[in-house]
Amino acid sequence: MTHPFYDLRDLTVTDADAGAVFSAAPSGRMVKGYAAPCAYTPAPDPGYLFHEASRDIIVWFMNTSDPLYVFGPTGSGKTSAIKQLASRLNYPVFEITGHGRLEFPDLVGHLSLRQDNMEFQYGPLALAMKHGGLFLLNEIDLLDPATAAGLNGILDGEPLCIPENGGELITPSPMFRFAATGNTNGGSDETGLYQGTLRQNLAFLDRFWLCEMGYPAPEAEERLLESCAPILPEAIRKKMVEFANEVRRLFMGEAGAGYGSSIEVTFSTRTLIRWADLMVRFHPLARQGVQPVSYALDRALGYRATRETRAVLHELVQRIFPMSIGS
C-alpha cells in the first residue's frame, strides 16, 4: 500500500505567470507553485467565481512576507477562496479547524503505535513546513490565546522543534505558507453573534497580514445562481440576491433595512445556493398551492431562526416576492 505522504516528496517547484493562472490573461508577474497536484491539493472548481478580495490573497501568494489572516462574516467564502487559489498553483493544503481545546501537539503531531513500533505521525503544521505546503488554520479566533501565542516563533519563520521525535528540527521550506481564517479580526466580536470567539494576544495578531472578505457583489452572486440553478428565471434569481442582501443588512443592524432591531441569522453565499437548490426541488409543490420560495427558505435558513425572526423573513418574502414562483 502506498504511503499517503510519499507523493509530497516528489513535488516540483515551478514559476508561472500569475495573470495566466488566475485570470487567463498573462500579466508578466510570476508566482511560484508546483508543476503537478498531489493528494493534498484541493480539487479545482471550474465554475468558482473569485471574490474581489482574492486580489489580496493572490498578491500574498506572489510575495509572501507575513502569514495571512482572512476575516469576515460566516459563509462569505474565506476558506474556499484560499483553497481555490491554492488549487490553481497545485499547492498542497493542510487544513485544521481551531477550537477552544486545540493544543499545539494537535498541529505538530504525536507518537502512535504502528506494527508494534512507536512511530511519529506528523500533524498538519509539521507536514506543511516540511514539504512546502499551505497550512490553513480555520476559525483561528476560537483558539485559546495561550495556544495561539505558541505559534509566534513559526509565524516569524523559525524552525519547528519536535521533542517527541528525538528533537527533530524542521526548517520551514521556502514554499511554506501559513494562512488563517476567522469571523472576527481577532480583536473582539462586536456583534455578539459568534459565540466562543476569543480576543487574541496583540503580539500574535501583529504578525499577520490582514484581509477582510465580505459577501460577494450582487452581480457575482447572480452569476453564481445562474450557473448552479439555471432553471430558475432570471427575475427570481435577482430577487433572491436582493432578499439575501436585505437579510444581511438586518443581521448587521443597519438602519436602512427598515425593520428596527437586528436579527440573529444571516444569509451566507452557501445558504443562498442551498435555497436555490431547494426551490428547484420543491417547485412542483406550487401545483398544490404551496409557495416554493418561502417553503424552501424555511428549510435553507428559516428554521434556524427564532419564531420572531422567521416571521420577519416571511414578511420580507411577501415584500420582495409578491408573486409566487409557480404562478
The pTM for the full model equals 0.84
pLDDT of residue 125: 97
Q: What tens digit of pLDDT does each residue of 166-207 get?
A: 899 999 999 999 999 998 888 877 666 677 788 898 999 999
Average the pLDDT over 279-295 and give the result. Answer: 92
The span from the CA of 109 to the CA of 297, in Å, is 43
Question: What's the burial of 98, exposed, middle or buried (CB within 10 Å: 0-12/13-18/19+)?
Answer: buried
For 184, the 3-state DSSP assignment is coil
pLDDT beyond 70 at 255: no
Q: Are strands 160-162 and 168-170 parallel, antiparallel or unpaired?
A: antiparallel
Q: What tens digit of pLDDT does each residue of 71-117 get?
A: 988 878 899 999 999 999 999 999 999 998 898 889 999 888 777 78
pLDDT beyond 80 at 325: no
Q: What are the cell numbers at 327?
A: 404562478
Percent over 70 (pLDDT), the chain: 93
By the 8 A CB rule, do 257 and 288 touch? no
Range of lowest pLDDT (30-34, 54-58, 64-68, 124-128): 64-68
pLDDT beyond 80 at 119: yes
